[in-house]
Amino acid sequence: MLTDIQCRNAKPKDRPYKLTDGKGLYLEVKPNGTRAWRYRFELAGKESILAIGDYPAVSLSDARVARQKARDQVKEGISPVHARQLERIKREQAHAQTFEQVAREWLALKDWTAETKARRLDTLQRIVFPSIGKLGIASVTSAHVLRILQKTAKTAPTVAAEARRAMSGVFELAISTLRAETDPVYPVRRAIPPSKTQHKRALGVDEIGQLMRDLTSHESNFQTVGAFRLMWATLCRPSEAIEAEWSEFDLESATWTIPAERMKKRQQHVVPLPSQTVAMLAGIRGVNGNTRHVFPHRDDRKKPMTTASQRGALKALGWATKYSPHATRTTGSTRLNEMGYPCDWVERQLAHVEPNAVRRTYNQAQHLDDRRRMMQAWADMLDALEAGGKVIPGNFRRTA
């Protein structure tokens, strides 16, 4: 076995020569004075040499540690040379790919609506990118993530929770594409308390009536109110309402056909329109009939309005902490079931997919006529609640 003194005193000669340490490790002394550690091994009957590094940058003890690691790899049938090449590729990919680059790739791969993608990107741009956007994806640590979550949770716990989910999704992609080995979000996932927001709960009948009256008082912004009323009258998703296009409506047949590409489940959805909604849309068409979208953007009429308009209206009306547009569907489902309507009708109106595969195969009914009667009764109930009435849920099931 070699000693450190022998390594230090090794002098160059006219030709390269070796100082053997044993078990495949040797120090190659070159004519130019370079002393390089080498490890010779045999795998699958083929001899190869692994370059460990130059002495004295790599000491004798370090070279022996590297030899042991390489020997262990050979025992497992792994070539140390190939393993080192793979490690180098991973490092290069990690440093070449920043968190922001992988995050944008993650968003592009998601089968989400444009509104959902825009909301996730907005969260990342405001909360996450300023801190770790420019860092290599593999160099982000749990400490980075924890700092982001704790800072955000102080003022916006729900936003912190959304940022946490987004970051974890980005790292899931990075791991699956060999650009990261671990998800640094996981160890600190419980560092912020669970969100206790209640604004997605189902509204009571008195609250529904008050919200309808408050929306009427906000009629100066008829587009925002119109989007809310369309959402309440049909129980569609917020994005489906604000991005609605005139080409999707047939007011004569009181039908709204939302194309598959705008639906969460990527299936076309046919929606019956109550008479009140048909009248409202006819009035809006007199103003916005020459635009593509029913509710165009205030500044760019070629684009639809944004969710910021709805959030602004709710804040102005004092409903921001009590109600979210997403709660409309929860409220509608709860109240319609209480009124005795068949679950299949309600679920079809909400465009929910039957979870049971066998039942889904045999139950393809649209229940359009049934849903038309149901939603007209729902719209009439909304009017009655707005007028201050007290609605007692009744049994409206179809009779034979």
Catalytic residues: 237, 264, 326, 329, 352, 362
- Helices and strands (H and E) in the chain: how many: 17, 7
CA-based nearest residue to 236, from 377, 350, 341: 350
The CB density around residue 84, as the number of other CB atoms within 10 Å, is 15
Query: DSSP 3-state assignment of 292?
Result: coil
d(CA 370, CA 373): 5
- In whole angstroms, how far apart are CA 74 and each of 28, 63, 85, 90, 270? 22, 16, 15, 21, 63
Cα–Cα distance for residue pair 288/225, rounded to 1 Å: 14
Contact of 349 with 231, CB cutoff 8 Å? no
Contact of 184 with 168, CB cutoff 8 Å: no
Q: How far apart are the first and last CA of the chain?
A: 96
19 CB-side CA count, 13 A: 21
Residues in CB range of 4: below 8 A, 6 or more apart? 59, 60
Q: Which alpha helices (DSSP H) does the chain contain, by range?
A: 4-9, 60-75, 80-96, 99-109, 114-123, 129-132, 142-153, 157-176, 205-217, 222-234, 238-242, 275-288, 307-317, 327-338, 343-349, 357-362, 368-386
Distances (CA, A) of 210 to 32, 215, 323, 327: 89, 9, 12, 15
Only one residue has tokens 């090449």, namely 85
